[in-house]
Amino acid sequence: MNLQDFQWIRAPKEYTITKDKVTIITEPHTDLWQRTYYHFRNDSAPVFQMKTDEKFFSFTVKTDFTDSKNRFDQCGVVMYLDSENWLKACVEYENEKFQHLGSVVTNHGYSDWATTEVPLNVKSMWYRFSRREDDYCMECSEDGVKFNQMRICHMHKGGDTIWFGIFACSPENSSFQAEFSNFNMGECLWKAHDGQQPDDME
């Protein structure tokens, strides 16, 4: 992938981009969330992404968050369409006992959050973001070889041109260094369903 094809939404004050690596220094009180449960609307995280019309593809990237140390520090993969329609997958620091590996899908201004706990010694994570028209699959891997499904979802505004890439943020009063490498976009590795056929639509 050519990182020159990527563009910033809310570029951070401190970042570096080389041929194959992006480093972001997060700023305090930056986040992505819409309404659900917390009732606030946070749309302030820096997003670095590219545009595509391709309807079937997989995007993989490796994240390193060794420096994360405060609650909700996070970095990962994102598809940001607008402030009320986006998805993300990331590891969020929680406390001195565990972190949350999770994903958020936001349609029409309401976010959800699906998580599982992971140990504090996990300091890097690969993500694979796959598209099949307006449906999406997010997977994660600790070694970049074996990927585990995190979520399958539908994006109401995700059927045409989309933007996708990476993000990092610190929702509370903290800052950390997030590193992204091993960017790759290729054929869709989320294969077509070969089981039960769709119901007849009459």
Q: Looking at residue 121, what is its pLDDT?
A: 96
- Joined together, the tokens standing for residue 117 give 């706990």
Per-residue burial over 170-185, b = 16 or more CB atoms within 10 Å of its CB, e = otherwise:
bbeebbbbbbbeebeb
> 120: alpha, beta or left, given left = phi > 0 and alpha = psi -120 to 50?
alpha
**Domain ranges, ordered by start, for the chain:** 3-186
Q: Looking at residue 193, what is its pLDDT?
A: 87
Cα R_g (the chain), whole angstroms: 16
Q: Looking at residue 185, what is its pLDDT?
A: 98
Between CA 2 and CA 89 the distance in angstroms is 22
**pLDDT, tens digit (0-9, with 9 covering 90-100), for 83-102:** 999 999 999 999 999 999 99
Between CA 37 and CA 17 the distance in angstroms is 36
Q: What is the CATH code for 3-186? A: 2.60.120.200
AA identity, residue 49: Q
Q: Looking at residue 202, what is its pLDDT?
A: 53
Contact between residue 176 and residue 68 where contact means Cβ atoms under 8 Å apart: yes
Q: Looking at residue 82, what is its pLDDT?
A: 98
**pLDDT, tens digit (0-9, with 9 covering 90-100), for 11-36:** 999 999 999 999 999 999 999 999 99
DSSP 43: E
DSSP 98: -
